[in-house]
Amino acid sequence: MIKVCVIGYGTIGKRVADAILKQDDMELVGIADVVPDYKVKVAYMKGIKVYVPKDKFESFKSAGIEPQGTVEELLDKVDVVIDATPAGIGAKNKSTLYIDRKVKVIFQGGEKANVADVSFSALANYSKAVGKKFVRVVSCNTTAILRVIAAYLNNGYKIEKVRVNIARRGADPHEYRKGPINDVILDPPKIPSHHAEDVKSVLPDINIVTSAIAIPVTITHLHFVNIVFKDGISRDEALEALYRTPRIMLFESSYGFRSSAQVIEWARDIGRHRADVPENIIFKDTVSVIDRNELMFLMAVHQESIVIPENIDAIRAVSGYTNMWSSIRKTDEALGLFMEGKVYG
Ligand code: NAD
């Protein structure tokens, strides 16, 4: 059993913690946070052991959460740390908490790429993370883009260039202070957006340009993907590579799918915990091949859950587990993901 803890129990941390609880080769030793809010209280009520910095003991006790010990005590009990704190805190934790301990650490995409030895996407570069001390799972948008690029590279296609335009969700559902409201923001106000550089932190040789805007929704991002191949590709071949790739599903409009909200409603209807959708959802009827070698499609990306499977694979990789496909299968089975991309396509 790989002993794991989660530092930072927010949007990503609570989901990774629940995913760890579902793996038969991992044990969730505990979680740590600095704010005794409803999320941590829920974890505590579920029986998850909560660790906090020494100076936070009283505030957690006042909120009815009995800390199990300090963050340092938690770190001394584990093999692998998932750091899911807000962007920038992970880098601070690296120098104050992790660097001198024997733990392996997995950071999230909000950290700069140089926080880790490797930026990670299971389908694109699993083997590079095997045995490493510091690994960074790339952000939600980058994870989704890398999965589709990997779908083609892993099936023997050669890519000339990738162009992705991203309509980003303005905020996560719990972020009541954030906008935009009644606005469309250039986010960032330049091209390329940072997502292209982030993709290159995993696949340095890909010719990719990205742009992004933020829109007033909380449910998903939406990507306009354009991939130009070096050789010709038919629409059937383009679909087949997507079908064959884990964590990608194709949704067809004949089932009624034509919006992000429907994707989330589908997740509720099939009983997904938190209505999570860790798969890339590609709207099948948008999949088009133009001029023999240019593929276009639209894709919904559920930012709150898409990186969760990759975090689980990263735990195995840093622990020395070498078989990428076996890890991906194990993760996806435990999380109840569909193994067959054709269910709604
Ligand atoms: P969040 O704000 O929802 O949660 C962060 C949690 O960390 C909070 O509970 C906070 O109290 C806690 N925290 C803050 N400082 C801490 C400390 N020093 N020690 C322990 N806990 C601390 O953040 P999030 O959205 O889960 O983002 C976490 C990371 O994941 C970021 O790097 C982010 O960029 C990345 N990420 C976020 C999303 C997303 O859509 N939310 C998607 C992919 C990746």
The predicted model scores a pTM of: 0.98
Q: What is the pLDDT of residues 249-293, one digit of tens each?
A: 999 999 999 999 999 999 999 999 999 999 999 999 999 999 999
Query: ∠115-121-126 over CA atoms, to 5°?
Result: 100
User: Probe ligand 1: pick from 94, 107, 108, max atoms within 8 Å of CB?
Assistant: 108
Q: What pLDDT, on the 0 to 100 scale, is given for residue 92?
A: 98
Q: Cβ of 161: how many Cβ atoms within 10 Å?
A: 14
| Pairwise CA distance, residues 58 & 323, whole Å | 45
Express each pLDDT in 36-70 by its tens digit. 999 999 999 999 999 999 999 999 999 999 999 99
Q: Is the CB of 42 under 6 A from ligand 1?
A: no
Mean pLDDT of the chain: 97
Compute the distance from residue 215 Cα to the ligand 1 centre, in Å.
21
Residue 139 has pLDDT above 90, yes or no: yes
Query: Is 339's pLDDT higher than 90?
Result: no
Token readout for 313 is: 């694979």
Q: Is the dihedral of CA 63, 69, 75, 77 positive or negative?
A: negative
Ligand 1 atom 30, closest CA: 108
State which ligand 1 atom lies nearest to the alpha carbon of 307.
43
Q: Is the pLDDT of residue 5 over 80?
A: yes
**Which atom of ligand 1 is found nearest the CA of 53?**
19
pLDDT of 314 above 80: yes
Average pLDDT over residues 82-110: 98
Residue 138 has pLDDT above 80, yes or no: yes
CA of 275 from ligand 1 middle (Å) equals 19
Token code pair at residue 93: 């934790």
Residue 192 pLDDT = 98
Flag whether pLDDT at 341 surpasses 80. no
Give the mean model confidence (pLDDT) for residues 100-115: 98
343 pLDDT tier (thresholds 50, 70, 90): confident
Tokens of 167: 């309509």
At 144 the pLDDT is 98
Q: What is the pLDDT of residue 74?
A: 98
Query: Mean pLDDT over residues 11-27, rounded?
Result: 98
Tell me: pLDDT of 134 over 90.
yes
Question: How many whole angstroms separate alpha carbon 70 and alpha carbon 51?
Answer: 5
Confirm or reject: Cβ of 68 under 6 Å from ligand 1.
no
Is 140 catalytic? The answer is yes
Query: Using one digit for the tens of pLDDT, what is the confidence trace for 176-216?
Result: 999 999 999 999 999 999 999 999 999 999 999 999 999 99
Compute the distance from residue 160 Cα to the ligand 1 centre, in Å.
35
Q: What is the pLDDT of residue 140?
A: 98
Q: In the predicted model, what is the mean pLDDT of residues 324-344?
A: 93
